[in-house]
Structure 1
Amino acid sequence: MGKALDSSGLCTPSEPIPVSDKQQGYDVDLTVQPPSAFKAIALTSVCTLSMLIVSVTTSSSQISLPVVGAELGIREDQLQWILSAYALSSGCLLIPFGRLADLYGRRMIFLVGCVFQGAFALGCGFANDLVTISVLRGFQGLGAAATIPASLGILAHAFPPGNARSLAFATFSAGQPLGAGLGFAIGGLLTEFARATWRSMYFVVAGLSVICIVGAVLLVERDHPSTEQDKRVDWLGVVLVTVGLTLVVFVLSDGEIAPRQWSTSYIIALLVVGVILTVAFFVWQWYLERPSVRQRHSRWTPPPLMKISLWCRGNGRFAAMQCIVFFLMCAFQSWTMWAVLYYESYQHYSPVLAMIRMLPMIPAGILCNVFIGLLVGKIPGVIIIAIGCLCTGIAGLLFAVINPAATYWAFGFPAAVLTVIGADFVFAGGSLFIAKLAFPHEQSLAGGLFQTMAQLGTAFGLSITTIVFDRVRARESLIYGVVIDSEGSNAPREAQLHAYQAAQWTVLGFGALASLIAVVFLRGVGVVGGPHKPNPSEDDKSENEKTMTTAVEV
C-alpha cells in the first residue's frame, strides 16, 4: 500500500510509496485490523504502564534527592547526576532502539527494556555511593530508551487510524504526567515513612517492571517479519548519534556546576566535539539516503538509521512538531523541578507536604486524557497543541509572580493543573501526528525521535533555567551585600525568591515559544485523530507528482 498527503499534510493510503522505499521492499499490504475491545484495553494498559514507570522513576528520584544526599554524604551540586545519568542513556539511545524495534520486533525490544528497567532499579535500591547509583541509573535508562519507541510502534501497528487509536495514544501519553504525579506522591510518602526510605521507590519500580514483563509476554503478539529487504543496521550512525547526543546532554547537565562553569576547558571541548559528531550524523544520514547511494548495495552503504527526508514530511510539519515538544519539555520539566525546590528548599516543606502540593497533577492528567480521547478527532490539532503549550507557560507565570504569603489555592494549585495540560495535549496530539506522518516500517523510529527531542528539551530547559537561577541569586545577593558561597546556602531569602521567580519566567518563555511555533507552522493541519479523510491540496498534489516523476526517472 502507498501513502498520500491529505490537506493537512498527513499520510493517507492513496499515494505510491516513494521510490527509495519501494526499492527496499515496503510496497506491501500492511492493512491493520482493529483489535478486540479486550485486546485494545490490554495492549494500551501494558504500554501505558511502561511509560508510567519511566515517569515514576524520574519524579520519585527527584523528590528524594535531599534525603539521598544526607544519607550517602553526597554534595548538593553532585546530586543532579542521579537524574542526569538516567536522562543521558534514556534520551540518547531512543533513535537506535527505535530502529532496532522496527527491524527485529517491537515486542522483543519492549521486553528487553522492561528487564533493564526493573533489574537496575533493584540494584539502585542497594547502592551506597554516588558512583554506583549513577552507573546503575545509566543502565536503567537503557530500559526507557527501549520501551518507549517500542510501545509507540506496538500501538501504531495494533490500531488503524481512527478513534480507537486516538484514545490509545492519549492514554499512553497520559502516562507521562500521571507517572510524574504518582512518583511525587509515592516517592514522598515512602521517603518519609518507609523503613528503607528513598530505596523503597526503586523496589516499587522493580515490581512494576515485573508486572509489565508478564503483561507483555501474555498480551503483546509477536511482530510480523520486517518487510525491509535490507535489514542491516547503520552502526556508524548509531555511534555518531549516541556519542554526539551524550556529550551535548552531559554539557547541558554539567556546565553550570563545572569548576569554572561554562568557561571550563573540558565543558567547551566536549560541547564542540558533541556538536561536530551530531552534525556528522545528519550528514552521514543524508548521504546514505541519496538515490545514487541506495542503488549501490555495498557493506559501506547500509540503510540510513534516520532518513533526513523524515523531517520534511507534511511540508515540514514533522520538524515543527519536534521543535514544539522540545520547547514544551523545556517548560514542563523545568517547572516541575523548580516548583519542588521552591516548596522544599524555600518554603522548607517536608517531602510529603511538597508531594501533596503536586497531587493535583494526577486528576488533571486523567481529565486531560479523557478530553483528548473524546475530542482529538474533532478539534484541529493546532488548537489542542497551541493551547496545551500556553497552559504550561501560564503555570510558569503563576510561579513567576507568586506571593509566598498567599494561599496555595491562589498560585500553586492552578499551576499544578495547568502544567499537566501542556504535557498531555502535546504528547497525545504530537504522537498521533507523528504516527500519521511515518510509514509503517518507521513507527518506532519516529516515536523514538519524538521522545529524543523531549529528553533533549528536558536537559536544555533545566540547564538554561539553572543558569538563570544562579545568576539572579548571585546578583540579588550582592544587592543585599552578601557574596554567596559555592552552594548558595547563605543567599538572603529575598534573593532566593527572586531567583525562583526568574527561573519560572524562563518557563513562561519556553511555553510561549512552543505555542507560537504551533500557531505558525501547524495552521491548517486539521484533526490529528480519527480516520483518514483523503483530500489532497494543490501543494500536496504537486508534491505527489514530483514523487512519481522521481520514481519513473530512477
Structure 2
Amino acid sequence: MPTPSEDGNASATAPTATKCDSEHTPQPQSVCEPDHRRSVVQNVVLIASVTLCMIVNTANLTGVSISLPTIGRDLHIVEDKLQWIMNAYSLSSGCLLLFFGRLADLYGRKRLFLCGCAWLGVFALGCGFAQNEITLDILRGIQGLGAAAAIPACLGILAHTFPPSTIRSIAFSTFAAGAPVGGALGNAVGGVLTQSTEKSWRSAFWFLAGMAAVCCVGGAFSIDKDEPYQLDDRRVDWLGAFLGTSGLILIVFALSDGSVAPDGWKTGYVIAILIIGVLIFALFVVWERYLERVQNGSGTRRRRWWTPPPLMNVSIWGRANGKLGVMLIIAFLQWCGFLSFSFWITLYYQNYAGLSPILTMVRLLPMNVTGFLCNVVVALVVGRVDLVILIVIGTTFTAVANLLFAVIDPAAPYWAFGFPATILAVFGADFVFAAGTLFVAKVCLPHEQSVGGALFNTLTQVGAAFGTAISTIVFNAGLTKASRKYGVEVHGSVANAPRPAQLVAYKDAMWAGFAFPLCGAILALLFLRGVGVVGHKTGPKVVDSDATTNEKTVSHPWPTLLLVYQAVEDR
C-alpha cells in the first residue's frame, strides 16, 4: 500500500491494485485473493445475495412509491406529506454512507452486510404494521440505516472475493443490474400486492422483509469471513457523523414542512429549524476540515484522543482542479430531477388520471427496462466516449422527460407523452452514475477512493430527498394559486382542489424537476470540458490532485471503485 506523502500524494512507484505483492506492498488479507478455493455454488449464492440486496434497496423506493396514494387514503395523509415516506428512507440511508463505509473498514464487511440486511427486514416488517403517519415515517427513517450499512459492504465483498477474471466482471455487472431490476420488481410487486391483497400496501412491506431475510441467509452461507484492515488509526468520527446527518435532516425537514406549516414560511419553528440545520452542517464542514489538517500534520496541530480521522476530507472537492466537486454537484442535481420525476408521475397517474396501482405499474415498466439496457450501453462506450458527452446526454434526457409532463395534454394517448418520458428519464441516472463513479476513481488519491465513492452515493441519496422537497413546495404553491382562481382555498391537499388547478400544480412540480438536470447539463458543458474518456483499456489509473497528464498505477486498502472500473473494462 503506498504511503501518502505529507501533501497527500501517493508514491509514484506504488504497485498495481489488481493483485497482492507481498514483496513490494504488504497488504491486509482482506484485499488479497482468498486462500481457499470457493465452490461454484458459493459464488453463485454470493453474487445472488449481494445483487438481491441492491434489488431490495431499490424496491424499497419504487415499491413504496407506487403504493403512496393508497397509503395516503388508508392513513389519512395529505398529499404534500406523502413525500416523507420516501424521503425518510433516502435521507437516512444517504447521509450515513460515509459513516458505515468507515465501520466496514474497521469491523468487517460481512458483519455490516448481514446486520444491514437484517435491519432492512425487521423494520420493513414494522412498517407493514404502522397505524399512522408519524409511526410510518419514523420506521422508514430507521429502516434506511440498514441500506446505508449493507450497500457499501456489497462492493467491498465482491472486490475481496473475486480476483481479476471473467467471474468478477459477471459479479459486478450483475450487481449493477440490481438497481433497474429492483425498480421493475418494486413497481410490479408493489402494484400487484397493493391492489390485489387484503392487506393492500402492508403486503408490499412484508414481501420486502422476506427478501431481506433471504439476503441474510445467502450472505451467511456464501461470504468469506474477512479480517478488518489493520489501520494506524481505527477511531470513528462520531461527532462528524452526528453533525452531518442531523444538519441535513433538519434542512430537508424545514424545506418540506415550510409550505404546509400553520403560517407557511413565516412559522417560527420552520425558520428556527432551517437556521439550526444550516449552522450544524456548516459546523460539520469546519470540523472535518480541522480533522483533516490535524491528520496531515499541518501547522502546530497534533493528533489527540479527540481528533480521529475525518469521515470526509474537505479537500477532496478540489481534486482535478475542482472538476470532482462539479461532478458531485451534477450527481446531486441529476437525482433531484430523476427522483422528483418518479415521485410525481406516480401521483399524477393515480390521483389525477385515476389509474389503479397495477395500471400505473404497467406505464412505468419502460423505465426499468431502459435502465437495464443503459447499464449495458455504458459498459460498452465508457472507454471510448468523452465524459462530457455522456453526462450532457444523460442529464438532458432526464430534463426532457420532466418537460414532457410539464406540458402534457391529459387527453393525449400514453404514447404521446408518458411513454417517451419514461424511456428518457433513466438515461441520466445510469449515465451519470456509471461515468461519475469512474471519474471519481480516476481523480481521487489512493487513500480517498472509498471516501470519494461514498460521497458520490451520499449526494445522489440526499439529492433524491432534496428534489422531492423542493418540487413539493412548488406543487403546493401552484395548487394554492390556481385554486384561488376558482374561488377555492386549499391547504396542501388536492382533495378539494378543482381538477384544472390540480393539473397546473402537477405541471409546476414537473417544471421544477426539469430545472435540476438542465442545470447539471450546463455545469458539465462549462466545467468538465477537457476531462476526456474516463475508461481505459490498459487498466485503472489514478491521476494526481492537479489533474495533470501524469498518471500513476496505485494500490489501495479498499479499491472498490477501481475494481468496479476494471470489471467493466474486462468485459
- Judge same fold: TM > 0.5, yes or no: yes
| Identity across matched positions, percent | 49
Letter in 2 for 1:119: V
- Which residue of 154, 157, 163 maps to 1:154? 157
- What is the TM-score with the length of structure 1 in the denominator? 0.86
- What is the TM-score with the length of structure 2 in the denominator? 0.84
The whole-number CA distance in structure 2 between the counterparts of 1:257 and 1:243 is 22
The whole-number CA distance in structure 2 between the counterparts of 1:77 and 1:533 is 46
Partner of residue 432, structure 2: 426
State the Cα distance separating 1:540 from its structure 2 match.
4.3
Aligned residues: 531
Letter in 1 for 2:418: G
The whole-number CA distance in structure 2 between the counterparts of 1:314 and 1:40 is 38
State the Cα distance separating 1:146 from its structure 2 match.
1.0
- After TM superposition, the structure 1 = structure 2 runs for residues 358-507 of structure 1, keeping only pairs within 5 Å, are 358-438=364-444, 442-507=448-513
Secondary structure of residue in 1 paired with 2:454: helix
State the Cα distance separating 1:244 from its structure 2 match.
1.3
- Which residue of 288, 304, 329 maps to 1:285? 288
Are positions 1:66 and 2:73 aligned together? no
The whole-number CA distance in structure 1 between the counterparts of 2:407 and 2:91 is 33
Partner of residue 307, structure 1: 313
- Which residue of 47, 50, 54 maps to 2:50? 47
State the Cα distance separating 1:465 from its structure 2 match.
1.3
500-509 or 310-319, larger mean C-alpha shift? 310-319
The whole-number CA distance in structure 1 between the counterparts of 2:108 and 2:445 is 16
496-505 or 334-343, larger mean C-alpha shift? 496-505
269-278 or 97-106, larger mean C-alpha shift? 97-106
Partner of residue 548, structure 1: none
- Which residue of 248, 252, 267 maps to 2:255? 252
State the Cα distance separating 1:523 from its structure 2 match.
2.5
Partner of residue 234, structure 1: 237
Letter in 2 for 1:262: W
Secondary structure of residue in 2 paired with 1:359: helix
Deviation sequence 1:75-106 (CA, Å, 0-9, x none):
44544333333233222222211221122222
The whole-number CA distance in structure 2 between the counterparts of 1:364 and 1:125 is 31
Are positions 1:264 and 2:279 aligned together? no
The whole-number CA distance in structure 2 between the counterparts of 1:408 and 1:95 is 41
Partner of residue 88, structure 1: 91
- Which residue of 328, 337, 348 maps to 1:342? 348
Instruction: Name the CA shift for 1:423/1:158 in 2 (closer, same or farther; >3 Å).
Output: farther
Letter in 2 for 1:241: G
The whole-number CA distance in structure 2 between the counterparts of 1:272 and 1:441 is 34
The whole-number CA distance in structure 1 between the counterparts of 2:551 and 2:373 is 40
- After TM superposition, the structure 1 = structure 2 runs for residues 123-202 of structure 1, keeping only pairs within 5 Å, are 123-155=126-158, 171-202=174-205
500-509 or 28-37, larger mean C-alpha shift? 28-37
Secondary structure of residue in 2 paired with 1:503: helix
Retained in 1: the 8 A contact 2:350–2:360? yes
Partner of residue 8, structure 1: none
233-242 or 122-131, larger mean C-alpha shift? 122-131
Secondary structure of residue in 1 paired with 2:130: coil
State the Cα distance separating 1:3 from its structure 2 match.
9.4
The whole-number CA distance in structure 2 between the counterparts of 1:164 and 1:520 is 39
State the Cα distance separating 1:382 from its structure 2 match.
2.4
The whole-number CA distance in structure 1 between the counterparts of 2:88 and 2:545 is 48
The whole-number CA distance in structure 1 between the counterparts of 2:335 and 2:493 is 26
The whole-number CA distance in structure 1 between the counterparts of 2:503 and 2:93 is 33
Instruction: Name the CA shift for 1:312/1:93 in 2 (closer, same or farther; >3 Å).
Output: same
Deviation sequence 1:394-445 (CA, Å, 0-9, x none):
1111111211111111110111111111111222222233344445655443
Are positions 1:532 and 2:539 aligned together? yes
Deviation sequence 1:496-532 (CA, Å, 0-9, x none):
2222222212222111111222233333333334443
The whole-number CA distance in structure 2 between the counterparts of 1:261 and 1:36 is 60
Retained in 2: the 8 A contact 1:98–1:446? no
Retained in 2: the 8 A contact 1:162–1:529? no
The whole-number CA distance in structure 1 between the counterparts of 2:319 and 2:343 is 34
420-429 or 331-340, larger mean C-alpha shift? 420-429
The whole-number CA distance in structure 2 between the counterparts of 1:116 and 1:415 is 35
324-333 or 381-390, larger mean C-alpha shift? 381-390
Instruction: Name the CA shift for 1:379/1:445 in 2 (closer, same or farther; >3 Å).
Output: same
Retained in 1: the 8 A contact 2:399–2:516? yes
Retained in 2: the 8 A contact 1:95–1:449? yes
Instruction: Name the CA shift for 1:196/1:272 in 2 (closer, same or farther; >3 Å).
Output: same
Letter in 1 for 2:394: G
Retained in 2: the 8 A contact 1:252–1:459? no
Letter in 2 for 1:48: T
Letter in 1 for 2:113: F
State the Cα distance separating 1:220 from its structure 2 match.
2.8
Q: Structure 1: which 5+ runs fail to align?
A: 5-10, 18-25, 546-554
Retained in 2: the 8 A contact 1:12–1:532? no
Letter in 1 for 2:399: G
Deviation sequence 1:12-56 (CA, Å, 0-9, x none):
984669xxxxxxxx9755776699996876655433322221111
Partner of residue 526, structure 2: 520
Instruction: Name the CA shift for 1:436/1:408 in 2 (closer, same or farther; >3 Å).
Output: same
The whole-number CA distance in structure 2 between the counterparts of 1:149 and 1:82 is 23
182-191 or 470-479, larger mean C-alpha shift? 470-479
Letter in 1 for 2:539: H
Q: Structure 2: which 5+ runs fail to align?
A: 16-23, 553-571
